[in-house]
Amino acid sequence: MVAKQSRVKSHPPTAVASAFGLSLRGWLLSGLPRAKATSKTKAHVVFLGQGQTVEAALAALDLSLPPWLIERAAAKRGEILYAATEAGPLWLLTAQAKSSAAAHDGLFRVSPYGVARDLAAQVVAALADSGLAEVNWHFHGASEAEQRGALVGLELGAYRFKQLRAAKPVLELPRLVLHGVPSGVLDAAHVLGVATNMARHLVNLPPNELNPTTYADGLQELFATFPAMSVDVWRGRKLVQERMGLLLGVGQAAAAGPALVHLKYRPKKPAKGVKPLAFVGKGITFDSGGLDLKDAGGMRLMKKDMGGSASLVGLAYWLAASDAAHPCDIYLALAENAVAQHAFHPGDVLTARNGLTVEIDNTDAEGRLVLADALDVAVGKTGADAPAAVINLATLTGAMRVALGLRIAGMIANDDDLAQALLLAGQRSAEPTWRLPLYADYFVGMKSNFADFANSAPGGRGGAITAALFLQKFVRDVPWAHVDMMAWSEGNTGGCVEAGGNGQCVQLLADFLASR
C-alpha cells in the first residue's frame, strides 16, 4: 500500500504547440507521443532528498523492502536502486551531497539542484519502453531546489532527437503522476526543461534545414503567440542601411543571406526601476571556416556553431513562458560561413557598424565579427531601452575548449559584479563556469598595418583572451560579460543522456535573472 498524499496531475494545454518540430508540452505535461501501454501495472519512483534516511522514506510511503536491500540503498546513495515490491516496480533515487569541491570558493561543488537533475535524468532510460501505463513519482525530504532539479532532469532525460523526428515515435513513456509537488514548482521546472531542450533541439537540427532564413522565420512563428515578446528581423537591404558590414561580410557567400534577429521582451508587470539586460548570441548555422577552410574533422560538428544563439532562444522562451519580471533584449547574429565566389578573403578590410575597420587575418575567426556588429546594436540603445549590462554567448574559440574542456564555459568580463553573479548562478544551476582575465596587453597581437586592427592574432596563443579583447572594442562603457561555451555534449552529462546539443547556459541565465 502507498499512503495517500496530495498530488498534482499534469494537464496538457488545449492546443498542441511546437517549435522547429519540438513539442512545447514536454513529458511533464504529457506532451511526448507514446505508444499504447502494454501493462496496467503501476510503478513508483521515490526521490530521497539529501540528509533523509531510506527507512523514513519507505515508512512514510508505507512501502517495505528486505533489510539487506535497505542497507544497500543506504550504502549506495547517489545511485538508482530498482526493486520489485507488492505495490509494483520501485525505483529509489537517493540524493547524495557532492563533496571534494571546497576549492575555488565552492564554485565547482555540484548543487542540490544539479545532483537531483542528473540523477532523475538517468531513471528515464529505465522507464522508457517499460510498457508501464503510469508512474507515481514521490519526493521525500526533498528541498524545492531538489524537486525543481529532478523535474527538469525528467524533461532533459526524455528528449530524444531521432524519436521526435520519426514518423512513428519509438520511445514509450508512461504518464507521470507527481505526488506532493507544488504547482508552482512543476510549472517552473516544465518551462525551464522545455527551454533547455529547445536550445538542444536547435543545435541538433541539420544545417540543410536550419539556415539564417529558416531560423529567423521559425522564431517569428514561435513567439507570435507571446504578447510580451516582439520579434524584429533585419535582412538584406536593412542590414546595409544599418551598416552591418561585419555580419554582411561573413554571410555574403551563402545561399541564405545573413540576418539579425531582435527578440524584445517587455513583461506586463516589470520590476520597478529595472533597466533591461541585453544578450547577444552567435548564430553561425554552419561554419566551413570560409576560405581558411577547416579540415574534415574540424568541420564535422559545425552545425553547432549557432549554439550561443540557440541557448538565448531557450532563454527567450523561458522569459515569455514564465512571465519573468525582468525586461530583456536578445540579439541573434545569424549567418552561414560558406565558401563560394562571393566569400570574404584573408586580407579584406571590413567596416563595422561602429565605424572601426577590421582586417581579416583569418576567415575562420568569423564569430567575433558577427557578434561585434550585434553588440554595437545592443549597447547603442538609449532611453528606457538602454541596457544595464550586456552578455554575449558564443561557441567562439577552440582555445577555450583546450583550456577548460567541454563542460566548463569560459567567461571574460569587464565588470567584477556581473562576473561574480554569473559564476554563482553557474554553481547553483550546475552549469560550471570559470573566469579568465581580460588581459589588455595581448591585444597587440591583432595589430594591423591596413585597418584599425585584425580579427585574430597569429600563433593562437591566448586565443580565448584575444577574441574577448576584440569584442571589447564594441561594447563601449557598458558592463559586459563574454561567455565562450561548447553547447555540445559527447555523452551522458548534465542531465543530457544522449550526445548532441546540451542547451548550455540556459539554466545558468535563468537562475541569474531569477536571482536579480
488 and 455 co-located in one domain: yes
Count of C-beta atoms within a 10 Å radius of residue 169: 16
> Does the pLDDT at position 2 exceed 60?
no
Please indicate, yes or no, if residue 38 is contained in any of the structural domains: yes
In percent, the amount of the chain with pLDDT more than 90 equals 71
171 and 48 co-located in one domain: yes
Choosing from 151, 181, 211, the residue where a domain stops is: 181
Question: Any bridge partners for residue 409, and if so which?
Answer: 433
More confident residue, 370 or 80: 370
> Does the pLDDT at position 180 exceed 90?
no
pTM exceeds 0.95:
no
Reported as a pLDDT band with limits 50, 70 and 90, residue 58 is confident
What is the C-alpha to C-alpha distance for residues 174 and 27, in angstroms, rounded to an integer?
9
Please indicate, yes or no, if residue 189 is contained in any of the structural domains: no
Q: What is the pLDDT of residues 107-151, one digit of tens each?
A: 999 999 999 999 999 999 888 877 788 888 999 999 999 999 999
445 and 351 co-located in one domain: yes
What is the C-alpha to C-alpha distance for residues 455 and 471, in angstroms, rounded to an integer?
10
Task: For residue 375, give the nearest of 482, 510, 248, 254 by alpha carbon.
Answer: 482
Looking at residue 21, what DSSP letter applies? T
- How many distinct structural domains can be found in the chain? 2
157 and 216 co-located in one domain: no
Length of the chain counted residue by residue: 516
Give the pLDDT of residue 41: 64
Please indicate, yes or no, if residue 169 is contained in any of the structural domains: yes
Point out the least confidently predicted range of 18-32, 256-270, 380-394: 18-32
Point out the least confidently predicted range of 56-60, 137-141, 195-199, 227-231: 56-60
Please indicate, yes or no, if residue 64 is contained in any of the structural domains: yes
Point out the least confidently predicted range of 164-173, 373-382, 408-417, 433-442: 164-173
What is the C-alpha to C-alpha distance for residues 323 and 265, in angstroms, rounded to an integer?
10
Please indicate, yes or no, if residue 6 is contained in any of the structural domains: no
Reported as a pLDDT band with limits 50, 70 and 90, residue 70 is confident
How large is the average pLDDT for residues 183-204? 96
403 and 367 co-located in one domain: yes
152 and 270 co-located in one domain: no
Reported as a pLDDT band with limits 50, 70 and 90, residue 100 is low
309 and 458 co-located in one domain: yes
CATH number at residue 502: 3.40.630.10
> Does the pLDDT at position 473 exceed 80?
yes
Q: Which three cell numbers stand for residue 410?
A: 569560459
> Does the pLDDT at position 359 exceed 80?
yes
Reported as a pLDDT band with limits 50, 70 and 90, residue 165 is confident
Please indicate, yes or no, if residue 163 is contained in any of the structural domains: yes
> Does the pLDDT at position 38 exceed 50?
no
How large is the average pLDDT for residues 41-67? 83
CATH number at residue 80: 3.40.220
CA distances from 409 to 222, 374, 432, 463, 491 (A): 28, 21, 7, 15, 17
Q: What is the pLDDT of residues 404-444, one digit of tens each?
A: 999 999 999 999 999 999 999 999 999 999 999 999 999 99
Residues known to be catalytic:
294, 368
51 and 162 co-located in one domain: yes
How large is the average pLDDT for residues 7-21? 52
- Mean pLDDT score of the chain: 90
Give the pLDDT of residue 98: 62
Please indicate, yes or no, if residue 195 is contained in any of the structural domains: no
Determine whether 282 is exposed, middle or buried from the number of CB atoms within 10 Å of its CB (0-12, 13-18, 19+): buried
Contact 263, 332 (CB under 8 A): yes
358 and 497 co-located in one domain: yes
Choosing from 153, 181, 209, the residue where a domain stops is: 181
Point out the least confidently predicted range of 9-13, 119-123, 130-134, 506-510: 9-13
302 phi and psi angles, rounded to 5 deg: -75, 5
What is the C-alpha to C-alpha distance for residues 337 and 287, in angstroms, rounded to an integer?
5
Give the pLDDT of residue 356: 98
Please indicate, yes or no, if residue 116 is contained in any of the structural domains: yes
> Does the pLDDT at position 31 exceed 70?
no
Reported as a pLDDT band with limits 50, 70 and 90, residue 4 is very low
How large is the average pLDDT for residues 6-18? 42
141 and 205 co-located in one domain: no
284 and 221 co-located in one domain: yes
Which domain, by its residues, includes 108?
Answer: 13-181
Give the pLDDT of residue 376: 98
What is the C-alpha to C-alpha distance for residues 60 and 69, in angstroms, rounded to an integer?
17
CA distances from 490 to 184, 307, 412, 440, 498 (A): 33, 15, 25, 34, 8
Give the pLDDT of residue 34: 39
Reported as a pLDDT band with limits 50, 70 and 90, residue 9 is very low
Q: Which amino acid is at 435?
A: R
215 and 363 co-located in one domain: yes
Reported as a pLDDT band with limits 50, 70 and 90, residue 10 is very low
Reported as a pLDDT band with limits 50, 70 and 90, residue 171 is low
